[in-house]
Structure 1
Amino acid sequence: MGSTQTAPVLVYGAYGHTGRFVVRELLDRGLTPILSGRDPDKLHALAAALPGAAGLEVRAASADEPAALDHALHGAGAVINCAGPFAATAGPVIEAALRARIPYLDVAAEVEAVSDTFTRFGDRAREAGVVVLPAMAFYGGLGDLMATAALGDGAAAEEVHIAYALSSWHPTAGTRGSGQVSRSRRGGRRLVYASGRLGHRDDAAPTGEWSFPAPIGDRAVVGEFTTADSVTIPRHLSAPDIHTFMTIDAVKDVLAPDAAPPAPVDERGRSAQTFLVDVTVRAGGTRRRAVVRGQDIYAVSAPLVVEAAQRILGASVRAAGVVAPGEVFDAHAFLRSLAPHHLSYELGEPRTGAEGAGTSRS
């Protein structure tokens, strides 16, 4: 198998919104993407339109055709799956990666799909010596790395708080489709990580206020806005309660039936959306805060997953099997490597006291 940093990286779902950012990030780093996905016409159109993509190999494959996936992955050093809904694509592409014995990464935000990946493939990936890294994106990987960095050398936290402030949220077609799949699986219920497990709740999500770092300040938030990091964090850290919050305006945006997709505003194709992620971890009588700021949650997923792929291909890993980001990488060093070009990152000093920097009040 191709397992060096010079091996090509197959991007499944390359012509999707996030997939395009991933292809461009690979090219920017001097890596060679293989463009893959279900629609050959869209793949060839991407190769013709994307700067630097001319001459890239195109390998069309449907997720429900194992032989086609095997052909697509042949000779690749790793596969990055950007094609949702991941409830439909993750399993088949992981199966193909295990057959090819190459690392698999994805940008899944579907909580159930990420949980399924750990449950279904943990033992098999470990036995095969293959790294499977789901949710290596804005929702999932980023929060996991931030919580791990905030905890430092510790392995147990009493509480983890993750608060998201988005200036807006114009969903992609993929976000809408994945959201529909997740809502269908939940039967209208909500997922919440509490008392050491994910569980369903039927009541309305709580609302309150979160004190974000300047210049955002106090904002109205929806609580129990469970994201994929509520699956990944407990896989390697003891955290009985993970509290997640999202600014109310962003929730209204993403749920609006007439919401427009993200529109590019710069030469990198990013939208005008800005974000701040505020993570506070309480452990051993102290609290520590990590803060990340950036532009465009879809665009920033590309350097997150490509940096991860590059480190895995370079054998800079701690484990094999289905793993969480903070389990595989030095979280603090990983986040620092993305600053300042892709995001800004701050890690505060541990502080004593009952109250953290951000407090939700229902």
Structure 2
Amino acid sequence: MAIAVYGATGHTGRLVTAELLARGQDVILAGRDERGLRALAAELAAPDRVHVHVAPLDDSEALRRLARGADALNHCAGPFTTTGPPVAAAAAEAGIPYVDHAIEPHPVKHLFDAFQGTAERTGAVLIPQMSFYGGFGDLLAAAAAAGLPDVEKVTVGYAVTGWRMTRGAVSTANLLIGEIDRISYADGAQRIGPVEVRNSVFPFPPPVGPRTTIVPFPSGEVVTVPRHVPTRAVEVQLTASTFEEEQIFSSVDASPQERARTEFTVAVQVVRAGGGGRNAHVRGRDIWRAAAVASVEAVLRLTGGEGPCKAGVFSPAEAFEAAGFLRTLADQGVFEAALPEP
């Protein structure tokens, strides 16, 4: 079995590759930089298990060959506004499992809109935002809302300290900050257009506690959560202090050890129309490793026959039983989890 990692030379790609190798998988290092890919392959020193495939985004035939030669594809190279469609198209046409690390709501929406028919025809399963931002919120929302009637609102809160952005993350952030037409979900409907960015306070669990947040934070839960939680509103918030930290935009050359110092809490509050509701959260360190392990867990479940019983495009919580998936990640040391009892 060989898993393709597109964007393998980036920080997330390297973590995904290391996790796959640690779990006994062969890896195809893929991307646009041949010199970087071959240097990484030499660094890994596993010639029988590591292969290189150069596939620029504008070379559709090279991307198709990559997908045809892989058992699954883990897409790690952002911004996904640019990189997502051509790589996802190759996987969908080849009929193989695909996961990505998108955060941007528009590329997440595009995957559902553009590739459902192709995936159903070829037998592919595609999962966008199988990562830290977007993926954890989607899974927590499903775990917290399970069995609750009359859900009025799902609020996802991210508390992140020590975030050191990669070049790809900075490019993505610049796109999102300048975006005018944002996707939102309110009053039971998805909307695209300008939104008012404001401050709020989210009640994170101890030891974080209530924190001032940026609302809305542009993350893909506004697209995915309404697919499986019958709610009238979805909102994503991020601690305002995250972007006030001096190093966040100036750390593109940070070492892997420095990037691993991130601390995070992801919390979900599900509120019912008649009052009451339910909370769930995870807490851990190193958002990059957390994303890598989650995406690898998803890929290996899909290649092992675990996942949706039909082909198509799915959110993380549509593809897998949410609470069970989160507990597996907790058992693997990705985070500590506080989930509703089954």
Give 1:106's aligned amino acid: D
Is contact 1:110–1:179 with CA below 8 Å preserved after alignment? no
Note the alpha carbon deviations across 1:27-66, whole angstroms, 9 max, x for none: 1111111100001111111122247678511111111111
Q: 2:269 aligns with which of 259, 276, 280?
A: 280
Q: 1:70 aligns with which of 55, 60, 64?
A: 64
Give 2:58's aligned amino acid: D
Name the structure 2 match of 1:339: 330
Q: 1:115 aligns with which of 88, 109, 112?
A: 109
Matched, 1:328 2:328: no
Is contact 2:221–2:236 with CA below 8 Å preserved after alignment? no
Give 1:327's aligned amino acid: E
Alpha-carbon distance in 1 for matches of 2:81, 2:6: 15
Give the CA deviation at 1:201.
2.7
Name the structure 1 match of 2:223: 231
Alpha-carbon distance in 1 for matches of 2:254, 2:184: 28
Is contact 2:156–2:236 with CA below 8 Å preserved after alignment? yes
Note the alpha carbon deviations across 1:255-303, whole angstroms, 9 max, x for none: 96545554333xxx85211000111112464311111011122221111
Is contact 2:260–2:287 with CA below 8 Å preserved after alignment? no
Give 2:193's aligned amino acid: H
Matched, 1:206 2:198: yes
Name the structure 2 match of 1:216: 208
Alpha-carbon distance in 2 for matches of 1:88, 1:210: 32
The equivalences for 1:112-151 within 5 A come to 112-151=106-145
Name the structure 2 match of 1:357: none
Tell me the secondary structure at the aligned position of residue 312 of structure 1: helix
Note the alpha carbon deviations across 1:54-103, whole angstroms, 9 max, x for none: 85111111111111112222331101111112122221112211232111
Give 1:78's aligned amino acid: A
Tell me the secondary structure at the aligned position of residue 158 of structure 1: strand
Give the CA deviation at 1:349.
5.8
Q: How many residues align structurally? A: 338
Give 1:18's aligned amino acid: T
Alpha-carbon distance in 2 for matches of 1:21, 1:53: 18
Give the CA deviation at 1:215.
1.1
- CA change 1:181–1:223 in 2 (3 A) is closer
Alpha-carbon distance in 2 for matches of 1:65, 1:11: 17
Give the CA deviation at 1:217.
1.4
Q: 2:100 aligns with which of 106, 118, 129?
A: 106
Identity over aligned pairs, percent: 38
Is contact 1:136–1:304 with CA below 8 Å preserved after alignment? yes
Give the CA deviation at 1:168.
2.5
Give 1:81's aligned amino acid: H
Is contact 1:223–1:245 with CA below 8 Å preserved after alignment? yes
Give the CA deviation at 1:26.
0.7
Q: 1:28 aligns with which of 12, 17, 22?
A: 22
Name the structure 2 match of 1:162: 156
Alpha-carbon distance in 1 for matches of 2:175, 2:47: 32
Alpha-carbon distance in 1 for matches of 2:148, 2:122: 29
Q: 2:52 aligns with which of 40, 55, 58?
A: 58
Alpha-carbon distance in 2 for matches of 1:260, 1:62: 23
Give 2:170's aligned amino acid: R
In the superposition, the TM-score normalised over structure 1's length comes to 0.86
- CA change 1:89–1:95 in 2 (3 A) is same
Alpha-carbon distance in 2 for matches of 1:221, 1:89: 29
5+ long unaligned stretches in structure 2: none
- CA change 1:200–1:255 in 2 (3 A) is farther
Q: 1:81 aligns with which of 51, 55, 75?
A: 75
Tell me the secondary structure at the aligned position of residue 256 of structure 2: coil
Name the structure 1 match of 2:301: 311
Matched, 1:173 2:170: no
Give the CA deviation at 1:253.
3.7
Tell me the secondary structure at the aligned position of residue 317 of structure 1: coil
Matched, 1:252 2:241: no
Is contact 2:12–2:292 with CA below 8 Å preserved after alignment? yes
